[in-house]
Structures are given as structure tokens and as C-alpha cells.
Chain A
Amino acid sequence: MIWLLSGALFWAAAFAVNVAVARSRHSARRWARVFVPALFGITILVVWECLVRGLGISPVLLPAPSAIAARFASSGEILWQDFVQTAVKGALSGYVIGCAAAFLTAILVDRRDFLRRGLLPVGNFVAALPIVGIAPILVKWYGFGWESKAAVVVVMVFFPMLINTVSGLGETSAMQRDLMRTYAAGYWTTLLKLRLPAAMPFVFNGLKISTTLALIGAIVAEYFGSPIYGMGFRIQSEAGRLSMDMVWAEIAVAALAGSVFYGAVALMERIVTFWHPSQRSQR
């Protein structure tokens, strides 16, 4: 009972503080913009902890954040090994191969109209295939190691990246292309100096979408066959052993990895497309 009361009290207090900060004259400052979501996140964790303890929820159904944190701290080596296997070897390699292939295909498609009309519908179809369907097939073809996970990621990221790059390459106006012609610029010069830089916002859009898809693909592909390490494997087998605290620890690692990955690509986008209106920072 006391846990439930404390949880409710903390929530009410944090809510009041957040509302106060959001309404104050400091609300636009950087510290306020970080503080409000951070306090909200902490409140969720505190309320979760209080609910689990107050209602006596079995750790087999929902562990408390303190238990998860303890497990996280004590399983550092396993979590790191799983992270390398899934995020680095599986997701990252698939991401690089898939995005590079999609980018090059987009340039080809842009050059030849019949490729556009032929490849895009097929790509659309392939992208619609559910990964729980293609993952077992790819595991059969490429084996149990990280290669099959990378293959699943390639299939998942290829089409979004392709579509975005093709759209980006069509972003220049006739006036801009005519200007390049007046400078006697050939196809390749126009491509490298005008069309690709103009396409960058779209390309980065595709890259950002692909980061989330890559991690999902790598984890889910592991459900269908893996060596005995990897984030998907760990989540599935620890769930089978009722070690839900380990499952949540792995989820936390996955969330962290995904956020860092996305953040890194977003940072690169800031640097490359500094000229784009979307990159103008707020005062």
C-alpha cells in the first residue's frame, strides 16, 4: 500500500514540476527541453517500480526496474557479446550492404526509365514480404551465423532506401539542370555537383528509416536460427527460462543501440545537409 501511495505521490509531484517548467519563461531553453522528458522518463520508471512492489507482481510476469538494472550491471559481458553479434555483425553489415546496393541501383534506375518502371514495382512487392516469412528461408540459404541476419536486413532496407534516393534524384528543378548545361557540364558532373547534393535530404531520410528496420530485422531473424549468442536469441531463450529481467535488459540494450545508431545518422545529416531549411535550429 505504501508503495502505491508513494508512486502516486511521486507522479503527482513530477507532473506538477514538469507543467511548471513547461509553462515558465525558461521553457525554450536547452536545459528545460532536456529536463522535461528526462523527468517524465524517470517518473515512468519510479511508478513502474512502485506498482510492481505495491501490487506484488510476480517477477516472472513483470520485473521491477531495479531488478532489470541489477541484471544489466551483472551481465555486461553477455550483453556486449550479444550486441556485437546482432547489432554490429548482423544489423550494421546488412545496413551498409543494403543501403549501398540501393543507392547504386537508384542511380541506375534514374538513368534508365525502363528500369524504374520495372524495378520499382518488384521492389515494392519484395518490401511487402513479412520478415517472419523470409527470415527462415534466408537462414536455410545462408546458415545460422550473422550472414543470414545481414541478408534479412538487406532485404528490409533495400526498398525504402531505393525509393528515397530515386525521389531525391528527381528533386532538382529544370532551371538548375539548365544552368549546369550552360556550364557545359556532362551527366556525371551534373550528378556529382548538383543532383546528388540536392538528393541528400532524401537519402538521409532513407538512411534514418533503415537504421530502425536494420535492428528489427537482425533481432527477429535470430528467432529462426542462431548460434547461442545474439540479442534475438537471448530474448527468446531467456523468456523461455522465465528470466524476464534479462529479457528487459536486452530490450534496454536494443533501445540504446537503436537510438545511438539513429542519432549518429542524424548527426551526419546535420553536417551534410546544413543548407536545408529543416536543419535551421530554433532560437
Chain B
Amino acid sequence: MKKLLMSAAAALGLAGAGAQAGEDLTLQLKWVTQAQFAGYYVALEKGFYEEEGLDVTIKPGGPDIAPTQVLAGGGADVVIDWMPSALAAREKGLPLVNIAQPFKRSGMMLTCRADTGIKSPADFPGKTLGVWFFGNEYPFLSWMSQLGIPTDGSEGGVTVLKQGFNVDPLLQGQADCISTMTYNEYWQVIDAGIAPEDLVTFKYEDQGVATLEDGLYVLEDRLSDPAFEDQLVRFVRASMKGWKWAEENPDEAAMIVLEYDETGAQTEKHQKRMMGEIAKLTAGSDGTLDPADYQRTVDILLAGGSDPVITKEPEGAWTHAITDKALK
């Protein structure tokens, strides 16, 4: 009798385990595990991907990991990237296509110390500005180009510093201004002890030079495979469900992200704050790319003067095919 019960339990257990296997899909994040990607972690944790029959692997990014290169090398099926970088890659010969745009607004800012005397962008010439590179410099270069401020060190221009992924240049006085995100580096500056009154912040949205940020991108030739397209439809549906859940439950979403953080470097306070700020950026988007937003980004990038990020209007850089099916 006992043996019978044991073997029955074992059989049930195996059956349960077998149901886990779904279709594999790999997502490459743009940066390290943090609330910036909460929607995807929520979808993973809450079983939204599993419900759609997907077995999703989320690969965190980091310094020196370019999502576009990972996609080119076949290390991921879908990547998260910012639109300027994706369009530049497309022009370079890597045919990225935007399949969804969860982030409606840009969180990019330039934060300056008030004691540098900077009150408006007109005060920039002659100052030292910190800029991220590795694909994140495009919005800044576009902005400077539009203001007519040279960045190559010539007369009447700004000195550009390659900022690492921390806020030290501002804290140590090596730069007058640094690039920050509303949800991350800005708070690192505040946490370091500088009062908000001692800072002057320029939001790219307010300056009219904001470009679209975190979007989902795949390689164009894979879209012609109906099986893969179906996987993407289910992936986007589950991911957007995750994002909306995260927007409504920011604190729980932050805790989920912390659970998945393998480095142990993130803190609860920072992640909860980040989730609150990220929710402001994703609010209003159901995942569909708004063509007007896309055009605005393209126009800003093309207006780059002598050194534009892209030289011609991109074609076929985005598609509604996935979001139409996912969200109908």
C-alpha cells in the first residue's frame, strides 16, 4: 500500500514538472537588474509568461554589454534598447525593428551643481559636461548640435567627459554637469548628500530633445517566421500585463526585482523609488509605439547639424504587427 502511494505521488510530481516546459525566448536587458525592467521580472515571477506558454530567460546587461551586439551575435531573441541607438545600428547595417514601446516618456536629464552658475542651456559653453557613451551619447549630441554648441573642444563649446556609470564627476567637482536618469543617478546624487536646492536640472523632455527610450527590438529577418512572430505576440502581451501590474503595485514590483538581483547590489529604498519614477515614464503606454513619438525622435536625430546621429530617414524601423495582435 505504502509503495503504491509513493509511486503515485512520484508520478504526479513528474507530471507537474513536465508542464513547466514552454517555448524558449531570451530577452537581453539594457542594463543591470533594476526596477527599470520591472515589467519583465513581474511577468516572469507572476507566471504571465508561463500562461502564454513561454519559457523566458532574462539576461541582465551592464557596462560593456551592447544589446545590439548581443542581438547581432545571436545571444538573445529580443533586446531592450533606446531608439537612437537602435536607429543608428539600423543605419550601420544591423536591421533592428521596434516591436513595442512600453516607455512613453524619457527620463534623461542633465544635472548641474547650482554653484557653477548655470541657469539655462545658454550657460553651457565653457563648462565640463559628463556624458555616458556606449550608445547613450546620441540624445546629448543631438541636443548640443541643435543648440549649436560644439563638443569637440573648439571655441565656444563644452568639454565633454566620458562619465562612468556613477555620479562621482559631479560629487568631486570634475564635471559641472552630469547625465542622470530621473529614476537612478539623480537619486544617487541626492543620496550622496547634495540637496535638491543645490542642483539645477534640465530634463530632455522639457528641452524638447527627448528621444524614445526603452523599447523592444528584434532582427528584421526573424519577423518573417510566423512561429517566431507568434512567440513575440505572446511575449509582448505578457510583458505589458507585467508592466501594468508593476505600475499599480510599485512596491511589490520593486521587491520582485530585488529577488531577481543576483549581484545583491540593489537596495530596497533605491528600487522602490526607482519603480515610482519608472511608473511615471510607462504610464499612458499600452506597449504600442505611437508613430508621432517615433517621428519626433527621428526628427530630433536628423536635426543633428554637422554630426547627425542618423543621416537619413529610417524605413521599416518599427512595426505594429506584433502589438496589434497582442493587445486587440
Contact = CB atoms under 8 A, between A and B. Distances in A.
Given A228-B151, A228-B160, A236-B134, A60 B168 contact: no
**Most A-side CB within 10 Å, residue of B68, B162, B163, B174:** B162
B260 to A, nearest CB: 25
Contacts of B168: 140
Interface stretch (B89-97, B198-206, B243-251): B89-97
Interface residues of B, number: 28
B93 A58 contact: yes
Contacts of A240: 66, 133-136
Contacts of A237: 133-134, 137, 162
A196 B262 CA distance: 55
Interface of A: prevailing SS: loop
Nearest to A240: B134
A226 B89 CA distance: 24
Given A237-B133, A239-B66, A242-B94, A60 B161 contact: no
Nearest to B168: A140
A227 B72 CA distance: 29
**Most B-side CB within 10 Å, residue of A140, A224, A233, A243:** A140
Interface in A145-178: none
Nearest to B138: A241
Nearest to A229: B153
Nearest to A59: B93
Contact of B94 (A58, A139, A144): A58
Contacts, number: 72
A68 to B, nearest CB: 15
A227 B93 contact: no
B88 A60 contact: no
A143 interface: yes
A139 B73 CA distance: 33
Interface in B131-147: 131, 133-137
B164 A225 contact: yes
B64 interface: yes
B267 interface: no
A242 B134 contact: no
A61 B135 contact: no
Given A60-B69, A144-B169, A243 B134 contact: no
Nearest to A58: B72
B92 A226 contact: no
A147 B92 CA distance: 35
A242 B159 CA distance: 24
A236 B132 CA distance: 11
A59 B69 CA distance: 11
B160 A140 contact: no
B160 to A, nearest CB: 5
B137 A61 contact: no
Contact of B162 (A140, A228, A243): A228
Interface residues of A, number: 22
Interface in A193-246: 224-228, 233, 236-237, 239-243
B134 A60 contact: no
A243 B94 CA distance: 11
A227 B135 contact: no
B306 interface: no
Nearest to B71: A60
A242 B68 contact: yes
A136 interface: yes
A139 B174 CA distance: 11
Contacts of B160: 227-228
B269 to A, nearest CB: 25
B172 interface: yes
Nearest to A237: B133
**Most B-side CB within 10 Å, residue of A58, A59, A226, A242:** A242
A226 B162 contact: yes
Contacts of A227: 159-162
**Most B-side CB within 10 Å, residue of A59, A227, A228, A233:** A228
Interface in B78-136: 88-89, 92-94, 131, 133-136
Nearest to B89: A242
Contact of B72 (A60, A139, A224, A243): A60
A157 B167 CA distance: 30
A131 B273 CA distance: 34
A146 to B, nearest CB: 13
A61 B69 CA distance: 8
A237 B134 CA distance: 5
A237 B160 CA distance: 13
Nearest to B175: A144
Contacts of B88: 241-242
A248 to B, nearest CB: 15
Contact of A242 (B69, B131, B133, B151): B69
Interface in B38-91: 64, 66, 68-69, 72-73, 88-89
Contact of B92 (A136, A239, A243): A243
A61 B73 CA distance: 7
28 contacts: A58-B94, A60-B69, A60-B89, A61-B69, A61-B72, A61-B73, A139-B164, A143-B174, A144-B169, A225-B161, A225-B163, A225-B169, A226-B161, A226-B162, A227-B160, A228-B151, A228-B160, A233-B133, A236-B134, A237-B134, A237-B137, A237-B162, A239-B66, A239-B134, A240-B133, A242-B69, A242-B94, A243-B92
